[in-house]
Structure 1
Amino acid sequence: MGRKGPGLLLRDLGRADDQIDAVAAIVAQVAPDILLLTDVDYDRDGLATQALADRMGFAHSFALLPNAGMATGLDLDGNGRVGEARDAQGYGLFSGDSGMALISRWPINADAVQDLSPLLWRDLPWATLPNGPLWTDEIANIQRLSTTGHWIVPVQTPYGPVTVMAFSATPPVFDGPEDRNGLRNRDELLLWAHALDGDFGASPQDYVIAGNANLDPMDGDGLRGAMAAMLADPRLTDPLPRSNGGLAAADAEHTGDPALDTADWPDGAPGNLRVSYVLPAATWTVTGSGVFWPPPDDPNAKIAEVAGPHRLVWVDLRR
């Protein structure tokens, strides 16, 4: 639901908007208790985030200024111009562009949030940094790892605390032979492994990793082995959420299970991929999961299309 300028999302939330209406209809059907939205513009007073929560029927909301759109003052893409979207900490046209919003039916402990978003890429243990003219000491001194953000957010539910580890990573494309975005995408996943290891304070408890990894373990561009390794981490459970719509829209040249796909992109460029994930700690019991992607003959297929190329991923848990 990102827009092309600051304040436009808040404006659109106050009037009829086909995309927002479709998203609200999907959320109403799936009825999650905690929901992470990505590509949501941020404003300093949290007005758009709270308006989103109100529109979707949630009592609580949380957001922070994303790295996307945050000016660096440097020419990161080497085209001789400074201040463009590719020169920001993460691709963005303006400060607050393409952020995240966490909305919940239960209280969010904002005072206890751990925000890993300011971490410099070079300071990540075992980071793989790019080489070449587009990676200089000057850039390394300011370049953050998180494209959007990495948040560790405690939510107090009636059944005990839940820690949401939220993120939205860079697409591993739109770069050159240095594979800057591909390496950054992989290291954005590695950051969570370090967090679970306790390298950034106490290891999270009762956690769920949720977000857009922008990486499929089987198909598409990127360092796919990093996603496969994350899914195989014994500390996590992969609920394998599926949909009939993804199965019906299978790309013939792909090797992964199309029912697991979460994004509906043009065939072959890059085709449908599994890029969004809800990965609970192995200590949870998964009682259900799915992807809201109805097949073409389902009356709800149209609202999924209008909502955008990404499909909502849901997982039901109990202790």
Structure 2
Amino acid sequence: MQLSGCAKSQQTIRVATFNVSMEADNYRSSQEFANQDDSTLLFKHLATGTNQQIKNIAQIIQRVRPDIILLNEFDYTHDASIGPEAFIKNYLNVAQQGMSAIDYPYFYYGPVNTGVGSGVDLNQDGEVEESGSDAFGYGRYPGQYGMLLLSRYPIDLTNVRTFQRFLWKDMTNNQLANITHPDGTPWYSDEAIETLRLSSKSHWDIPVQVGDEIVHVLASHPTPPVFDGPENRNGLRNYDEIQFWSDYINADETAAYIYDDNGNRGGFNGQRFVILGDLNAAQNEGDGERIMLANLLAHPKVLQHELPTSRGGENAKKENPNAKYHTAQWGLTVDYVIPSKAGFSIINSGVFWPAEGEPDSELVKDREASSDHRLVWQTLRLK
């Protein structure tokens, strides 16, 4: 796969998303700190600068060299010095296997709903657990599967909008009424409905100053539409987490129900946006609520484009006509860079997935090499 360098111009940026699987459970069997059941394992590895899996992730980022990149499944801690700052200093600022080091002077890193107890029995097993399936978002500990945005351009932190605590019930035309037991009775109790948040992690609107222009990064990581039962509570939550962005970018009465964590109401207020993240849904295959993902991609405010491709994905499942668009090792398109129609044109794009035998293919051999997802990127011209 050939990657042309991103032009050093205020008018051109490379934007990417990458589910990096950088959460503590992923490192429990590694040689360092082996078999420790410890929610701080990621941060221990970030401090060493020697974990090969994280070095490979850094090498992929150095290879693609995005100006702005969202990392999904990067554990959250309130102490940024042991999280993003350690990753930047000990891995990204260090040249990996002949690549040039890369620096991200700016980042956004905030709390998420995973592992945060809801105080109610969400999975209907008769017990209220402090984490797991009774958390606002599934996680063994608070902050698991978090999000991190890295940027080579300044972030307008004052005007970031987050929607971590937005209640699902407050969403217009939500799917809660369709989540039922086999006999048709509601799955969630009245208490649960009054408590449950929409975002399994969070939804973020992050303004990035690119020269004289503002680019809004709309970041999220909806719940996987599996690991539930016939009530389909995760599938329908995934649907509504994606629907949220469709409503938000309408920026009209459709978005009037939306309020952020500071109490400000309404939808998108800007010109350019890029929706980034592992959306855990595909429009043509898989277990997700495909229609909502298809609706988002076809939204009148989204720039219509062919999805990024890779030769590695295509070769992995040659019998599947969608394989060249796949972004996950297990064979689905779930990770997206979705730019607005306003203010952008696409120069080029790709999925970092070298075919077997090509240079750097060892970096994506399996999850242990880097991640079970692939970095997805687009080079965009501002206009």
Normalised TM-score (structure 1)? 0.93
Residues 89 and 202 (structure 1), Cα distance of their counterparts in 2 relative to 1, 3 Å cut: closer
Matched, 1:168 2:227: no
How much does 1:131 deviate?
2.1
State which drifts further: 206-215 or 74-83: 74-83
TM alignment of 1:22-101, pairs within 5 A? 22-47=56-81, 48-54=83-89, 55-56=91-92, 57-81=103-127, 82-101=129-148
The amino acid of 2:67's aligned partner reads D
Q: Does the CA-based 8 Å contact 1:239-1:279 persist in structure 2?
A: no
Task: Report the counterpart of residue 235 of structure 1 in structure 2.
Answer: 301
> How many Å separate the matches in 1 of 2:324 and 2:306?
13
Tell me: higher relative CO, structure 1 or 2? Use CA pairs within 8 A at least 6 residues apart: 2
Residues 43 and 68 (structure 1), Cα distance of their counterparts in 2 relative to 1, 3 Å cut: same
How much does 1:251 deviate?
6.0
Residues 159 and 297 (structure 1), Cα distance of their counterparts in 2 relative to 1, 3 Å cut: farther
The amino acid of 1:74's aligned partner reads V
Q: 2:372 aligns with which of 304, 309, 319?
A: 309
> How many Å separate the matches in 1 of 2:197 and 2:210?
32
Matched, 1:19 2:72: no
TM alignment of 1:263-274, pairs within 5 A? 263-265=328-330, 272-274=331-333
Residues 251 and 219 (structure 1), Cα distance of their counterparts in 2 relative to 1, 3 Å cut: farther
How much does 1:76 deviate?
1.5
Unmatched runs of 5 consecutive residues or more in structure 2: 1-21, 26-37, 93-102, 259-265
Task: Report the counterpart of residue 324 of structure 2 in structure 1.
Answer: 259
The amino acid of 1:281's aligned partner reads S
Residues 79 and 251 (structure 1), Cα distance of their counterparts in 2 relative to 1, 3 Å cut: farther
How much does 1:84 deviate?
3.8
Task: Report the counterpart of residue 16 of structure 2 in structure 1.
Answer: none
How much does 1:19 deviate?
1.3
Matched, 1:136 2:169: no
How much does 1:234 deviate?
2.1
Which has the higher Rg, Structure 1 or Structure 2? 2
> How many Å separate the matches in 2 of 1:46 and 1:58?
14
SS in structure 1 of the partner of residue 195 of structure 2:
coil
How much does 1:159 deviate?
5.0
How much does 1:235 deviate?
1.0
Identity of aligned residues (%): 37
How much does 1:239 deviate?
4.5
* Count of residue pairs brought into register by the alignment: 311
Matched, 1:123 2:170: yes
Q: Deviations over 1:179-206 (max 9, x none)?
A: 1011000100110011112224252421
SS in structure 2 of the partner of residue 307 of structure 1:
coil
The amino acid of 2:328's aligned partner reads A
Q: Deviations over 1:140-160 (max 9, x none)?
A: 111111111100000112252
> How many Å separate the matches in 2 of 1:38 and 1:183?
21
> How many Å separate the matches in 2 of 1:172 and 1:234?
26
> How many Å separate the matches in 1 of 2:86 and 2:106?
10
CA RMSD, 1 decimal: 1.5
> How many Å separate the matches in 2 of 1:188 and 1:219?
19
> How many Å separate the matches in 2 of 1:177 and 1:251?
32
Normalised TM-score (structure 2)? 0.78
The amino acid of 1:189's aligned partner reads I
State which drifts further: 20-29 or 82-91: 82-91
State which drifts further: 309-318 or 151-160: 151-160
The amino acid of 1:96's aligned partner reads G
The amino acid of 1:3's aligned partner reads A
Residues 224 and 299 (structure 1), Cα distance of their counterparts in 2 relative to 1, 3 Å cut: same
SS in structure 1 of the partner of residue 378 of structure 2:
strand
> How many Å separate the matches in 2 of 1:202 and 1:117?
15
> How many Å separate the matches in 1 of 2:88 and 2:155?
13
Task: Report the counterpart of residue 207 of structure 1 in structure 2.
Answer: 273
The amino acid of 1:309's aligned partner reads D
Matched, 1:6 2:27: no
Q: Does the CA-based 8 Å contact 1:288-1:317 persist in structure 2?
A: yes
The amino acid of 1:23's aligned partner reads I
State which drifts further: 201-210 or 225-234: 201-210
Task: Report the counterpart of residue 282 of structure 1 in structure 2.
Answer: 341
> How many Å separate the matches in 2 of 1:223 and 1:273?
13
SS in structure 2 of the partner of residue 186 of structure 1:
helix
State which drifts further: 131-140 or 10-19: 131-140
> How many Å separate the matches in 2 of 1:87 and 1:202?
29
Task: Report the counterpart of residue 240 of structure 2 in structure 1.
Answer: 187
> How many Å separate the matches in 2 of 1:50 and 1:61?
9
The amino acid of 1:39's aligned partner reads E
Unmatched runs of 5 consecutive residues or more in structure 1: 266-271
> How many Å separate the matches in 2 of 1:313 and 1:156?
22
Q: Does the CA-based 8 Å contact 1:161-1:206 persist in structure 2?
A: yes
> Following superposition, which runs of at least 4 residues in structure 1 exceed 6 angstroms of deviation?
none
> How many Å separate the matches in 1 of 2:218 and 2:58?
23
Residues 168 and 158 (structure 1), Cα distance of their counterparts in 2 relative to 1, 3 Å cut: same
Task: Report the counterpart of residue 314 of structure 2 in structure 1.
Answer: 247
